[in-house]
Homo-oligomer: A and B are copies of this chain.
């Protein structure tokens, strides 16, 4: 990297290195290609390929790129399927790999029979079919959905040795298309006494959450499509509530009912499972927004380094408050920082891919990322976060286990062999 001036310690270069057409970086690359090799014709160049199928699937060589399941035998409890961030790239999560949490399995709903009712404090209660909703004005937007319990393993007092999929895999990002709820509520009319909307799913849990009416009128939609095709069963087919930037569980899947009310319902999922317990034993009554966050996906636990030299450090950043404005990256555990490049377009409440050029000298390194959003929020350090929010006791108590809305910095330590460990730094 002879033409490059370091931007921070331990081999981090400036993001502007990317803008120079690769000239400066190219010098650092030599050696990662395979220089002397005789090319041969492999079997696939000499035989016909395989049938082009009606619905494409990944290569058989990528069969390990799947969601990890917390309940593969489908026992009568909830099921988590986590996104393999460390094996993906870009900002879109493909639908097959979008995280899912289901409290009673994936409901398999016949869209012809499904109904969405809007009732309660409205002027004209109405019931909609999916077919009727298809006639309404639609919007599309990229947005992430993240479980409030994503990153819960980070509350552990000792760093858990696990991949970014295991630590942060309960967040994904897609282009959602549907009908703005403001349009449907203009049609039903709103009783001025209404302040909340109680959303209920058609699954066997009848999962319900209460949403402030202001959020519903701001940017909520009834989502019908996800990355172009109809939402998948694990995302709430034939329709789900989408609340950009808000706790995943509130984005009620298999949506069948929206009741306008003066007060929240204080349902099971909002008053027990997804309420955050604080160090003083009290709990946040509600914690809706998924705060600004980032993590490095490459390199990361399970994505090891193959000897010293150039690497691109890359990851995702997002904020439920708005757009990501800056991501800083450190290679020395936070002693010095370089600004990462952000992939355009940066969408509000959406995954933003960041990248930083790095030359690993083969010595110890601790990689971190830290994100800022356009509402003035900054991702907290672990020390600051734990001071306010606590961490799990060494002997966990089932009564007071903090497990929600973790958003501090994640640290990956590189050892001399290129191995990656999860550390607290």
Contacts and interface: CB of A to CB of B under 8 A. Distances in A.
A227 B58 CA distance: 12
A99 to B, nearest CB: 10
Q: Which of A67, A224, A228, A306 has the most CB of B within 10 A?
A: A228
Interface stretch (A87-95, A366-374, A391-399): A87-95
B227 A92 contact: yes
Interface stretch (A134-142, A260-268, A280-288): A134-142
A230 to B, nearest CB: 5
A90 B225 contact: yes
Contacts of A46: 204
Interface stretch (A149-157, A307-315, A376-384): A307-315
A105 B50 contact: yes
Contacts of A387: none
The bracket for how many chain A residues form the interface is 35 or more
Nearest to A18: B137
Contacts of A234: 52-53, 56
Contact of A92 (B29, B102, B228): B228
Interface in A82-129: 87-98, 100, 102, 104-111, 113-115, 117, 124, 126-129
A406 B411 CA distance: 53
A79 B104 contact: no
Contact of A135 (B127, B228, B235, B311): B311
Given A50-B105, A88-B229, A90-B177, A345 B345 contact: yes
Contacts of A25: 137, 183, 186
A33 B175 contact: no
Contacts of A229: 58, 62, 65, 87-88, 94, 96-97
A186 B49 contact: no
B312 A137 contact: yes
A355 to B, nearest CB: 7
Contacts of A235: 56
Contacts of A139: 18, 343
Contacts of A257: 39
Interface in A269-313: 298, 306, 309-312
Contact of A110 (B61, B127, B182, B202): B61
27 contacts: A21-B217, A22-B180, A32-B136, A33-B129, A34-B128, A34-B129, A42-B202, A44-B109, A45-B107, A49-B204, A51-B74, A52-B79, A52-B106, A53-B234, A56-B67, A56-B96, A59-B111, A59-B230, A90-B225, A90-B228, A92-B228, A94-B95, A97-B228, A135-B312, A136-B312, A137-B312, A345-B347
